[in-house]
Amino acid sequence: MRKRLQSKGTLSAKRMLKHIAGKEKRLMRDVNHTISKEIVKFAVEKGVSVIGLEDLTGIRETTLSNTPKKRRHNHSSWAFRQLQTFIEYKAREAGIITHYVDPSYTSQTCIRCNHISKNNRNRLSFRCEKCGYENNADLIGAMNIEHKTRDYRYILESQGVLVSHPDECLIDIQAPPVREG
């Protein structure tokens, strides 16, 4: 429909395109709110103190060239940063820290032996060339992000930044709090 309206180029077609864009934005905003609410709810239920998120800075530029032309609109229009922002503020309200992890090599690193190689990943499959471990490449990436987040949480705990009660934990996402005394 968008393609047809764009090729038409009339004033009413442009109005309709604007209407459709607004509808898409509202839909994505609603979906992002729902997803972020579920993530934070899960974290609260499981007693998670830190939520790890992949740092998606520059994601559109780095992945757009690998995306087929038919799927580029869907790829480019998803509001990645909006979802992260929603998770951040909902997590902050629940007393949970959000931590951004550098995604470099996360889907090329073996979770068993830490061997990093481009040859470990072949599209959606992962097979470590050193130890032979096999799994889904995206799942491997998520597991490596989880490990980096756990390491970050351990550092915060060892420094006394994390506390057991969320009400005592007033943390600015950008910088760790300064503890007095």
Helices assigned H by DSSP within 94-134: none
pLDDT, residue 73, reads: 65
Query: In this structure, is residue 166 part of a structural domain?
Result: no
Query: In this structure, is residue 168 part of a structural domain?
Result: no
pLDDT, residue 4, reads: 85
pLDDT, residue 165, reads: 44
Query: In this structure, is residue 169 part of a structural domain?
Result: no
Task: Residue 83: give the domain boundaries.
Answer: 1-159
Q: Which amino acid is at 135?
A: N
Total domains present in the chain: 1
- The model's pLDDT over 148-175, given as tens digits with 9 standing for 90+, comes to 999 999 999 998 887 544 444 433 333 3
Q: How far is CA 78 from the centre of its chain?
A: 12
Helices assigned H by DSSP within the chain: 2-8, 11-46, 59-64, 72-77, 80-93, 137-158
Residue spans of the chain under pLDDT 70: 59-65, 72-78, 163-181
pLDDT, residue 154, reads: 92
pLDDT, residue 94, reads: 96
- According to DSSP, residue 78 is labeled S
Query: In this structure, is residue 120 part of a structural domain?
Result: yes
pLDDT, residue 171, reads: 37
Query: In this structure, is residue 171 part of a structural domain?
Result: no
pLDDT, residue 44, reads: 96
Query: In this structure, is residue 20 part of a structural domain?
Result: yes
Rounded distance between C-alpha atoms, residue 140 and residue 137, angstroms: 5
